[in-house]
Structure 1
Amino acid sequence: MIPLILGAAAVLGAVIYGVNESERKDEEKRILNSGIREVDEMSGKEFEKLLSLLFKNAGYQVKLTPGSQDYGADLVLYKDGEKIVVQAKRYKNPVSVKAVQEIVSAVKYYNADKAMVITNNRFTGNAYNLARSNSVELWDRNKLIDFMIKAKIPN
């Protein structure tokens, strides 16, 4: 009787896992197929997920940081021996200097080689000034759209 119950539990677990895996892949496909208008309506977490999928397609190893206590980074990218920290800002308004300050602190915490802030919007003048003096790469809406087009097809 016990082997039968254990066997049934294993089959049920495999079925549930298969459904969850299928749902996860469907969700990833939906997010990856998003255009900039869909990005404008995403939650912050969905935007982070989109970026992680795009960077994976572009040949990066990607690690999403915890939802809280991320020390200023949302993604950690690895490629060609470099570690890059990324702050993702899906905003309705221009991104301020605060996002640059956060990613600058993340460079030290994660011992990163580079830093980026990526938004679906644009950046304030102060954000550009601080980014320039700290070697932080800023990707505005136009750069994001270009990357989305290039990274939709996996390497």
Structure 2
Amino acid sequence: MARRRGWRRRRNRRLAVVGVALLAAVVVAFWSRIWPFVLAAVGLVGVGALVWWGWRTHRELRRKDAIFRAEQRVLENNRTLDQVDKLSGEDFEKMVAELFRRGGCTKVMRVGGRGDRGVDVTGVLPDGRSMVVQCKRFAPRRPVRSEDMQRMLGSRTDFGADVAIFVTNTRFTDDAERYAKDNEIIAIGRNLFATWLKGATVESLIQTGGGGQGGRRHLKAWQQTYGKPGRTRRKKPAS
């Protein structure tokens, strides 16, 4: 019994070796016929992938170039605060994005729109800090209140940004200015925005920071034109 079992094992091994050899011979013979087609298929897949990647890259570059040119047109065509006051909210965001880009900021993107989580522009400041920006284009008589900027804190956390910046074409109420200072929000108001249009650097605006209100002279001039922040002028009764 033992001899018979040993003979069967040796026979099975020989059969296994023969089977493997036959299988290898079949694969080699088969491969010699189909390998040109396999290589051709692999080459076509590679060329297709390269074409697809080039198309995607070209489309993305064109999209970014279109955004850049649109923002640049808005900036070039609106060099005064009176012109800025007439912009749509979207065009105001484009202008702010282009101003940051011209100021040396990188990775600047306008993300405003539905579901923007309170952020209109993102990017990286010249000193390397990441930023989130909220833009508000109001009528000049309408000041920014503290409730207008309360979402900035959550937005800064959501985006993991180092700096939160609030940009507007109008002024901030006293409460809004205090809120900005207490929560380390850089607020760029009407007067600072005017200097930005005239060529002030991003660094100087951030250093001026605070509520972004400008000096007392600016505040007085604004109040003479629009009334005190947060209040509306009462018309005198007709005599």
The TM-score, its normalising length taken from structure 1, stands at 0.77
1:115 corresponds to which of 164, 178, 181: 164
1:12 is aligned to none
SS of equivalent residue, structure 2 residue 150: helix
* Aligned 8 A contact 1:57 1:151 in 2: no
The Cα offsets for residues 61-104 of structure 1, whole Å up to 9 and x where unpaired, read as 21111411111111112033211111101001101112220111
Bigger proportion of residues as helix? 2
Match of 1:54 among 78, 99, 103: 99
TM-fit CA distance, 1:32: 1.1
Contact 2:163 / 2:185 at 8 angstroms: preserved in 1? yes
Gaps of 5+ in 1: 1-17
What runs of 5+ residues in structure 2 fail to find an aligned partner? 1-61, 202-239
Could you give the per-residue CA deviations for residues 34-72 of structure 1, whole angstroms, max 9, x where no partner exists?
Answer: 121111000100000001111111111211114111111
Q: Give yes or no for contact 1:54–1:151 (8 Å, CA) kept in 2.
A: no
**Within the alignment, does 1:104 sit opposite 2:150 as a pair?**
no
Distance 1:52 1:28 in 2: 7
How do 1:69-108 residues align onto structure 2 when only pairs under 5 Å count?
69-79=115-125, 80-92=127-139, 93-108=142-157
Residues 71, 106 of structure 1: 8 Å contact kept:
yes
Equivalent pairs, count: 132
Q: 1:110 to 1:28 in 2, by over 3 A?
A: closer
Letter matched to residue 60 of structure 1: C
After TM superposition, where is structure 1 displaced by more than 4 Å over at least 4 residues in a row?
A: none
- 192, 196, 200: which one pairs with 1:147? 196
Counterpart of 1:130?
179
Equivalent pair of 1:55/1:151 in contact (CA under 8 Å): no
User: What is the rounded CA distance, in whole Å, between the counterparts of 1:29 and 1:118 in structure 2?
Assistant: 18
Measured in 2, the distance between the counterparts of 1:28 and 1:77 equals 15
Residues 99-131 of structure 1: per-residue CA shift (max 9 Å, x gap): 220111111000011111111100111111111
Q: TM-score, normalised on structure 2?
A: 0.51
Distance of 2:151 and 2:131 partners within structure 1: 14
**Relative to 1, partners in 2 of residues 1:29 and 1:65: Cα closer, same or farther, differing over 3 Å?**
closer
Does the CA-based 8 Å contact 2:118-2:152 persist in structure 1?
yes
- Choose from 83, 105, 108 the match for 1:38: 83
Q: Which has the higher contact order (CA 8 A, sep 6+)?
A: 1
Note the aligned Cα RMSD (angstroms): 2.2
The aligned amino acid for 2:119 is A
Aligned to 2:99, the other structure's residue is in SS state: helix
Pair 143,151 (structure 1): closer, same or farther in 2 beyond 3 Å:
closer
Q: How far 1:151 sits from its partner (Å)?
A: 6.1
Q: 1:28 to 1:112 in 2, by over 3 A?
A: closer
Q: Which has the larger radius of gyration?
A: 2
User: Counterpart of 2:199 in 1: which secondary structure?
Assistant: helix
| Structure holding more strand per residue | 1
